[in-house]
């Protein structure tokens, strides 16, 4: 008798569900009000729930969904086979996304920037990852370049931008080369770079000596800006240098040749120690002065912002491939990033997060996620400035680039 009652209950429940759905071939047509009610009841996500997209943003495989437009895209590049010391940054995009879980649109207001980047004019998507080969760096470089070009030429949602902007989650730092190749093609002019890092990354490939040389070995995470300069991707006017900030690297040989070569490549250097004498305000002023237009009223140069997490001291970011003692604190870096929000950032990356070397508290990935949040805030706030507004909303006009 109990089995009969149970079977009867199951049958009745199934009939009820079928009736509610209209039966096979007669799917219920939902009204906008009903869908809105479903979203109200079930759409909320706590920080610890949901699929692991960056900051709980809508996730779209943008490379295979060309109809999905966006203004700012978060794109992962799980690539680390151009490293010279500790690998593991291929897991950086996943770690940064996981560490961004407490960033949500309903609690995303940035007091330092006075905006919520997730509730503003920009449509921001998590565009997934570029499927990069871990077995052939030549193929990987071609893949990354093609993907950056493809995404950078997509249409935007807001009329404010003519081209979408990408923030890349690395991956090792070599990904900056394909990103710059794409931006040079998309914008039709060389770019300037603001580079936060413990290391120069402008080393001539011969500074990595080997009895077994190869052209492909030139592509590594310490020479990509040297390659970019030689390919004409970077501005070479002496009045328009690119800038390193946070340097504390050891140099080759027994002299200053690395710095001399860096200067010849049109870079300005700010060391990590400079913050002791100049403070964060002095670092900010030096950067802004370096990127200021030649004359008042001139358009701003396009700037690529590249943040190697090892710019931070290993006490704050041990989870990285080439840690260097004596770096900046996370708070100092955030303060500097907030101070340079007026720059014309057309693309950015946060690289070299290697979670295998961080502690259980995810301090390195958390720092990386916070840096992405600050860059997003700056991009959105810059757009608001272009609209001539101090608060949210949409508007007309176009970014110069």
Residues contributing to the annotated binding site for Mn(2+) = 173, 197, 199, 201, 308, 310
Look at residues 120, 117, 124 and name the one whose alpha carbon lies nearest to residue 68: 124
Contact, 366 vs 333, CB < 8 A? no
Edge to edge, the sheet with strand 124-129 lists: 124-129, 72-77, 165-170, 345-351, 303-308, 192-196, 242-247, 267-271
- How far is CA 106 from its chain centroid? 22
Contact, 20 vs 28, CB < 8 A? yes
Q: How many whole angstroms separate alpha carbon 140 and alpha carbon 14?
A: 51
The secondary element (H helix, E strand) that includes residue 365 is helix 363-386
Cα Rg, the chain, nearest whole Å: 24
Look at residues 52, 265, 306 and name the one whose alpha carbon lies nearest to residue 172: 306
Report strand pairing: 192-196 vs 72-77: unpaired
Helix 137-152 to helix 176-187 angle, to the nearest 10 degrees?
40
- How many degrees, rounded to 5, is the angle at CA 200 between CA 236 and CA 206? 90
Residues making up the binding site: 173, 197, 199, 201, 308, 310
Q: How many whole angstroms separate alpha carbon 295 and alpha carbon 221?
A: 35
Q: How many whole angstroms separate alpha carbon 195 and alpha carbon 336?
A: 12
| Dihedral angle, C-alpha 41, 42, 44, 48, nearest 10 ° | 140
Contact, 97 vs 175, CB < 8 A? no
Residue 11 CB contacts under 8 Å (≥ 6 apart), including other chains: none
Contact, 143 vs 132, CB < 8 A? yes
The CA–CA distances, whole Å, from 218 to 69, 92, 178, 225 equal: 36, 23, 14, 11
């Amino acid at each position: 008798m109990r089995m009969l009652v149970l079977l009867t209950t199951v049958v009745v429940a199934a009939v009820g569900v079928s009736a509610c759905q209209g039966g096979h071939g007669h799917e219920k047509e939902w009204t906008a009000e009903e869908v809105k009610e479903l979203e109200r009841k079930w759409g909320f996500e706590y920080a610890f729930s949901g699929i692991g997209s960056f900051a709980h943003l809508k996730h779209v495989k943008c490379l295979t969904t060309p109809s999905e437009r966006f203004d700012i895209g978060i794109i992962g590049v799980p690539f680390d086979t151009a490293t010279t010391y500790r690998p593991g940054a291929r897991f950086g995009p996943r770690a940064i996304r996981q560490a961004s879980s407490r960033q949500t649109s309903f609690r995303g207001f940035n007091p330092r920037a006075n905006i919520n980047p997730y509730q503003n004019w920009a449509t921001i998507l998590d565009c997934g990852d570029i499927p990069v080969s871990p077995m052939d760096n030549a193929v990987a470089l071609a893949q990354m370049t093609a993907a950056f070009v493809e995404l950078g030429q997509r249409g935007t949602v807001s009329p404010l931008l003519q081209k979408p902007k990408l923030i890349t989650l690395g991956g090792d730092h070599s990904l900056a080369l394909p990103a710059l190749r794409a931006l040079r093609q998309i914008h039709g002019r060389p770019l300037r770079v603001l580079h936060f890092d413990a290391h120069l990354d402008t080393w001539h490939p011969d500074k990595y000596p080997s009895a077994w040389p190869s052209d492909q070995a030139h592509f590594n995470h310490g020479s990509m800006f040297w390659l970019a300069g030689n390919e004409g991707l970077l501005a070479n006017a002496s009045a328009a240098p690119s800038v390193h900030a946070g340097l504390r690297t050891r140099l080759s040989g027994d002299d200053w040749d690395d710095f001399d070569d860096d200067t010849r490549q049109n870079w300005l250097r700010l060391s990590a120690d400079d913050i002791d004498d100049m403070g964060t305000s002095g670092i900010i002023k030096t950067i802004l002065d370096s990127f200021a237009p030649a004359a008042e009223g001139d358009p701003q140069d396009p700037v690529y912002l590249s943040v190697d997490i090892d710019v931070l001291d290993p006490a704050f970011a041990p989870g990285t491939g080439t840690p260097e003692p004596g770096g900046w604190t996370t708070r100092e870096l955030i303060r500097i990033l907030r101070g340079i929000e007026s720059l014309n950032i057309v693309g950015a990356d946060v690289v070299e997060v290697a979670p295998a070397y961080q502690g259980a508290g995810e301090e390195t990935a958390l720092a990386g996620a916070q840096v992405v949040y600050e860059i997003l805030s700056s991009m959105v706030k810059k757009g608001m400035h272009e609209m001539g507004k101090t608060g949210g909303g949409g508007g007309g006009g176009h970014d110069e680039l």
